[in-house]
Amino acid sequence: MKKIIITTAAFCCLSLYLIARQTQTPEVQESIARGEKVYTLYCLSCHQKSGNGVPHMNPPLVKTSYVTGDIKKLVTWVLKGSTENVEIDGKSYSNNMPAQNYLKDDQIADVLTYVRNSFGNASSAVTAAEVKAIRAKAK
Amino acid sequence: MKKTFVNCFLLAALLTGGINAIARGTDSLRVAATVKPDANNAGLTLPQGFGALVVAENLNEPRHIAVTKQGDVYVKLASLQGGKGILWLHDANGDGKADEQKGFGGFKGTGMYVKDGYLYASSDEEVFRYKLDAGDKVINGNAPEKIVTGLLSRHEHEAKAITLDNSGNIYVNIGAYSNACQVKDRTKGSPGMKPCPILDSAGGIWQFKANQPNQTYGTGVRYATGLRNVVGINWNSDANSLFVMQHGRDQLHDLFPTMFDAKQSAELPAECMFQVQKGTNCGWPYVYYDQLQHKKILAPEFGGDGKKTAGEDAVDPVVAFPGHLAPNGLLFYTGSQFPEKYKNGAFIAFHGSWNRAPEPQKGFFVAFVPFKNGKPSGDWEIFADGFAGGTNLSSPGDAKHRPCGLAQGPDGSLYVSDDQGGTIFRIVYGK
C-alpha cells in the first residue's frame, strides 16, 4: 500500500515536472540556456553552482521571495546590487552584491529566466522588454 | 571511594611520572583516565595516536571558544540560542561530554577569550568582559563591563575577533568592509582608491586596554594595518608577539578575467599568517601575496598585472597557504599532552572556501605549523580533516562541519568549534 502511494506520488511529480517543462516555449528554453552562461560568468562565484549561496555571506537563489516574486523588484535588485544589510527571508548576509547594470537587457532577462527555472525554482520567464522598461524607471 | 581512588592515582603518578608530571598538570592525568575518543573519532581523520570526541552538538553557530582551567567551555554564538549569545558548557561526570549548559549575554558575535579572571566577548561593534569567580564561572551574566564601543561594522567582514597579550592589552580585528578597496566594491572596472580611506578606521588590528571601560577609536591604537580581514588571531608568548591570519582578497578572475583564469583565481592569493608588531603594515589593498611566485604582487585594481611586484613598506607573511581557505581560528599550542613536535606550534582552523568556484572548494580542516623560537620551523600540514564529511565539495554550504574557533584545554586537549553543524570537538592524544 505504502509503496503504491509513493509510486503514484513520484509519478505525479514527474508528470507535473514534464508538463511544466513542456509549457516552456522553445524561446524560454533558449533563454534559460543562454542564462546559464551569464550565470556562470557573473553570478556563480557568489551564489554558487547549486544556487545555494554561501552561509551568512551570499544568499541562496532557491525559492527566495526575491527570486520567485515580483519581477520588477527582482530586476531592480539585480540592476542596483546591495551594500546594505537587507533581510532576505528572515536572514541577513554579510557580503556586498555589486550592481549588475553593466549587463544588457537580454542578458539580465536570460539570467533571471534561468534562475527562476533552476535550483528547484519554477517561475515565469523574464523578457528583455520588461528589463528595459524597469531599467528606464530605475534611473 | 572516590577520594581513595584519587589518592591512589596521585601516588601512582608520583611513582611513575615524578613530581614534574604532577606540577605540569594533575588535571591532565585525571582527564586522561576518563575521557575517551568517540568510536569513529567524531568522524575526523587525525595523525597516528590522536583521537577525537564530540563535546557538544546542535549549538547555534558557535564561533570562537575559550576553555577555563577547570575545563569548562565558553562558546560565542553568531546566532542567538534561547535569546542568549554565549554558552557555558560543563562536563560534570568527567567523560568529556558536556552535560550541563547555561546561556547568557543577549548579543551575537565571534570573539571569546578568557584571561586573568575575566571572560572577554565581542559583538560586531563592541567588546565586553564578564568577571569570573575562583572557579572561572561568570559572576553575573547580566552585567558585563563594556570595554570597547562604536567599532565599524559595515556589512562585510564584520566579525570582531579578539585576543589578549600578557601585559593587559586586548587586540581587536576591524575588518575592511571591502574586497579590494575599489570605488565600488567587487565591481568590474571600478578602480582602487589610493590612499584607501577604509584604512583609517578598519582593515587592521586595534589595541585597547583590557581593563578600561568605553574605549573607542580615539582611545585605541591602530596596532597593525593593511589587513583585509582577520578572524584567527592569537598572542604568541614564546615570541612575545601577535600573530594573525588574513583572509586574502577574492575574485581575481571575476574582476580581471583576462589576467587570471578560474584556476589561478582559485589558488591566488595566499591566505597569510603575519607576525605583527606595533606599526606593521601587511599591504592590503595595494598588494597581495602570491605563494607560487613567493612575492608581494601589485593588486590589479592599482595597476598590477599579476607579475609586477610592490609593497616595499609591507611585511612578508611568515606562512603562506593556498587561496580562499578562510582561516578562522589561530592557536599557539603550549600544552604537554601532544607530542613534543606540537609544542609552541600553530594550529589554524580553516573554515573552507567559497571563492574557488567553479573549482572544487577546499579547506574545512585544522592545519599545523611547527614553530621554534617564535618562528615557523617546517612546512604546514593538515592536522585534522574530515569536517566536511566528503570530498570535492562544490559549495561550502554542503559541508557538514566548518572549523571556526580553537582553544586549548587545561590538560592540553585541542577544542575545535564548528559554526555550520554546531558541534564542539575535542582532540586528544595517546588514547
Q: Collapsing DSSP states into helix, strand and coil, what is residue B186?
A: coil
Confidence category of residue A10, pLDDT binned at 50, 70, 90: low
Which pLDDT score, from 0 to 100, does residue B123 have?
98
Share of chain B above pLDDT 70, in %: 92
Q: Is A101 on the interface with B (CB under 8 A)?
A: no
The bridge status of strand B280-281 relative to strand B221-225 is: parallel
Measured from the Cβ of residue A62, the count of other Cβ atoms closer than 10 Å reads 17
At residue B294, does pLDDT exceed 60? yes
Q: Is the pLDDT of residue A12 over 70?
A: no
Cβ of residue A87 closer than 8 Å to a chain B Cβ = no
For residues A12 and A28, give the distance between their C-alpha atoms in angstroms, rounded to a whole number. Answer: 24
Nearest to A20 by CA among A120, A112, A103, A102: A120
Which residues lie across from B145 on neighbouring strands? B129
Give tens-digit pLDDT for B166-193. 999 999 999 999 999 999 999 999 999 9
Q: What is the CATH number of domain B37-429?
A: 2.120.10.30
**A22 at B interface, C-beta within 8 A:** no
Q: What average pLDDT does the structure give for chain B?
A: 93
- By CB neighbour count within 10 A (0-12 exposed, 13-18 middle, 19+ buried), where does A45 fall? buried
Cβ–Cβ under 8 Å, residues B138 and B126: no
Q: Where are the domains of chain B?
A: 1-34, 37-429
What A54-58 contacts at long range (C-beta under 8 Å, 24+ apart), as own/partner pairs, is: A54/A95, A54/B354, A54/B395, A54/B396, A54/B397, A55/B396, A55/B397, A55/B402, A55/B420, A56/A93, A56/A94, A56/B78, A57/A93, A57/A94, A57/A95, A57/B354, A58/A93, A58/A95, A58/A97, A58/B354
Residue A8: is its pLDDT beyond 60? no
The pLDDT tens digits for B275-293 are 999 999 999 999 999 999 9
Q: Is residue B320 over pLDDT 80?
A: yes
What are B402-427's pLDDT values in tens digits? 999 999 999 999 999 999 999 999 99
Whole-model pTM: value is 0.91
| Tens of pLDDT, residues B373-405 | 999 999 999 999 999 998 889 999 999 999 999
Which one has a higher pLDDT value, A19 or B19? A19
User: Among A51, A31, A35, which Cα is nearest to A119's?
Assistant: A51
A120 touches B at CB < 8 Å: no
pLDDT in tens, B328-352: 999 999 999 999 999 999 999 999 9
Percent of chain A with pLDDT strictly greater than 70: 83
Chain A positions in Cβ-Cβ contact with residue B155 (cut-off 8 Å) = 83-85, 94-96
Preferred mutation among B123, B182, B186, B325 to probe A, highest tally of A CBs within 10 A: B186
pLDDT at residue B5, as a whole number: 44
Q: Do A50 and B420 touch (CB under 8 A)?
A: no
For range A123-135, the mean pLDDT = 97
Q: Are B55 and B98 in contact (CB under 8 A)?
A: yes
Contacts of residue A95 in chain B, CB cutoff 8 Å?
Answer: 155-156
Query: Does residue B233 register a pLDDT over 60?
Result: yes
Closest residue on chain B to A97 (Cα): B186
What value does the mean pLDDT of chain A take?
88
Q: Mean of the pLDDT values across residues B227-251?
A: 98
Average pLDDT over residues B66-80: 97
Nearest by CB to residue A96, choosing from B78, B155, B354, is B155
Return the C-alpha cell found at A41: 560568468
- Is the confidence at residue B236, as pLDDT, over 70? yes
List all residues of chain B from 9 to 38 with a beta carbon under 8 Å from chain A.
Answer: none
Checking if the pLDDT of A124 tops 90, the result is yes
Q: Where are the beta strands (DSSP E) in chain A?
A: 87-88, 91-92
Assess contact for B298 and B356: CB atoms under 8 A.
no
pLDDT of residue A138: 82
Give phi and psi for B55, each to the nearest 5: -85, -45
**Whether B354 contacts chain A with CB within 8 A:** yes
Is the pLDDT reported for residue B20 higher than 90?
A: no
Residue B423: helix, strand or coil by DSSP? strand
Domains along chain A? 25-138 (1.10.760.10)
Looking at this predicted complex, what is its ipTM? 0.85
Alpha-carbon distance of B337 to B426, in angstroms, equals 13
C-alpha cell, A88 = 532576505
Distance CA B224, CA A17 (A): 57
Closest CA to B105 of B73, B146, B66, B135: B146
Q: How far apart are CA B371 and CA B376, in angstroms?
A: 4
